[in-house]
Structure 1
């Protein structure tokens, strides 16, 4: 999300290399209000020397030289704000990592972010992310203002109201899109057909759908068509109800639809995988920057052992890709549709004493066969692309037999 819905923020905390940064912040603010633009020599020594081997070649003297020259020579010294300079410097450092999911929140931005992940906001119902450094629609959520306005997966967002999105992080874009319920935000959209249009959207309370189950009769066989919209806090219970219904109705086969599912909770993807995999089979590998990794395994009874085909597309991201990769690698289940989005990373949120926060990517996800999901996505075994022409898309009804080419192909494969 990213997302309109903020996903994949782990609960654990990292406390590694923040002391130099905090000391830097302290020195800047105290120095400014004392009428001095240079930090004390002890702080300088701490900043430059209290580093591990990774940072031994970093010389913070250059930072202070620029700080001094700016404050000495800038034409309008009264407009310089030490706090803004500090936050700008930290933000630039974080952005230089080149990762759209790693971002620094100033205190006010962090307050908004906390409100958003707690659900006290109005939105338009789209998951967004950066693809080729362009703000892109990952997936519109069912029955939301964005979906009703015809916004579709892989369209580009060029402007939010009048603000260009080129230099915005995903989280900054999310902050601009969200707002007070009932107010309007206008997205300037580059469509799949190459045309640019303005789409005004009225912010609303977004109720994220979870699971839909229906049955399709084909050649005296009962096929369960199971669609998961998101891996949120209630998906485990909703999926369990659907799975029990499938077993009680003695369905012969399953079509598992993860299209336009932007992901969500890692634990839910692992729990749901347990309905399809035997206990102990690998669901996903979490690989850290230091070479270490965590392996997450299924802990279920593989009750849903019948033949399965899965549907994915460019809106399938994060936890959706984990589940798709796990079933594909362990059971050879066919993936039908289009390549998934490629959101295969884990973020943690580190809060600081001044109210600011760092959301940082700490690991990447690999499928059981060791294939990285991040940026690359997962390829469909049977590629069925939907038309990019807007009028042709209007004739397609996702999930309706005979009007959904990808669903029709899945049914064909299950014959």
Structure 2
């Protein structure tokens, strides 16, 4: 497969606290001449405002505020005026901390979050972390951290207040649909060690692969899981991407490539030519076994790329609930003093041209329910198993045509 840039997609509270980063230089600022220059009135307004503050503000003669603080504050304000929570300015100290975090273990809660219409939303808790143990769910809105109301905060203010040293407590208050009062969640930060892939046989002939996030080792781990399941007699596969908030773009493309015989996996569309890109699978597949993919409200970014690719290419059917809808591309632009800008430069589209961002991906078989460690209580997984059985019996074929309602499974009944 051609080498592609690593892209972290999603927001992981802890080490990888990012909102989708192209881990590469921005290739220079050759487009800077397209930007309208500041006019003299704008510069004079800034100078006038500073002069008034320095003359009259009671603490203005303090050494606590430096020239660099003023400059960074002005740049941060200008960037945030665009209203995109994923386009942001970071000073050199924060940039270094984020890059260090991405390389190691971390103390945190194990939760992907995003921002939509000003609200801080849980995308998904990560399996086995404090967030999952506290029963956080996709679409929960974080309202308070401790005694601080976070409404109006930017995404990274929330991140910085949620993460901390392992062993330290944190309390968050959430608003959940269907609940009248705020829910209080007491958690203790842990050192998050992520195991992204689990697998097992669900029956004599149906293999199950659970992928909780897309990291650099995920493709090889998924590949090993598929090979082992086939050796155990699997004649059909279920890939579970529920509550998977994202990860590395190259991992998403490589995993899609295991099921696709060449062709488009995902494309990006932006304002400038270099933001428009198409990423392809290589000829040949690791497996041609029938495939069903589980998604839900906590499936975002890289999960949506994989689900969209295999469904659009008539390689798999999707079961569960509509995905989160996080499909934008952020590029890191390094600035001259060591600070940087993360800028949303494009949005993802599936092979059929469907835009993911803010829209999400709807399943072929819509089944209500939550992911559960107890498989006999996992209604969505039961739906995926019934669909896989129907595919293997020839009752459902790809490309899909007809109604799948005969496969619907609910918590109250199976039909």
TM-score (norm 2): 0.83
Segment of structure 1 superposing worse, 196-205 or 68-77: 68-77
* Cα separation, partners in 2 of 1:300 and 1:60, compared to 1, 3 Å: farther
TM-score (norm 1): 0.83
SS in 2 for 1:285: strand
Q: Deviations over 1:67-94 (max 9, x none)?
A: 2243145343425643322211111111
Report how far residue 59 of structure 1 moved.
1.6
* Alignment partner of 1:189 is 2:170: no
Partner Cα separation in structure 1 for residue 68 and residue 30 of structure 2: 18
Partner Cα separation in structure 1 for residue 144 and residue 104 of structure 2: 24
SS in 1 for 2:106: coil
Q: Is the 8 A contact 2:134 2:185 kept in 1?
A: yes
Q: Is the 8 A contact 1:141 1:260 kept in 2?
A: yes
Match of 1:180? 165
The match for 1:67 among 19, 37, 47 is 47
* Alignment partner of 1:343 is 2:317: no
SS in 1 for 2:139: coil
* Cα separation, partners in 2 of 1:110 and 1:172, compared to 1, 3 Å: farther
SS in 1 for 2:246: coil
Q: Is the 8 A contact 2:166 2:191 kept in 1?
A: yes
Match of 2:388? 414
Partner Cα separation in structure 2 for residue 302 and residue 53 of structure 1: 44
Q: Deviations over 1:360-391 (max 9, x none)?
A: 222211100111111111112222222xxxxx
* Cα separation, partners in 2 of 1:397 and 1:365, compared to 1, 3 Å: closer
Q: Is the 8 A contact 1:3 1:170 kept in 2?
A: no
The CA RMSD measured in Å over matched residues stands at 2.2
The match for 2:128 among 126, 134, 143 is 143
Match of 1:248? 231
Match of 2:269? 287
* Cα separation, partners in 2 of 1:132 and 1:362, compared to 1, 3 Å: same
Match of 1:389? none
Match of 1:268? 251
The match for 2:23 among 6, 11, 14 is 11
* Cα separation, partners in 2 of 1:358 and 1:127, compared to 1, 3 Å: same
Q: Deviations over 1:172-208 (max 9, x none)?
A: 2212211112112221111233231222221111011
SS in 2 for 1:317: coil
Q: Is the 8 A contact 1:2 1:170 kept in 2?
A: no
* Alignment partner of 1:317 is 2:300: yes
* Alignment partner of 1:329 is 2:312: yes
Q: Is the 8 A contact 2:201 2:229 kept in 1?
A: no
Partner Cα separation in structure 2 for residue 304 and residue 400 of structure 1: 28
Report how far residue 114 of structure 1 moved.
2.5
Q: Deviations over 1:121-167 (max 9, x none)?
A: 31111011112321011111111111111111111111222332222
Q: State which structure, 1 or 2, has the greater radius of gyration over its C-alpha atoms.
A: 1
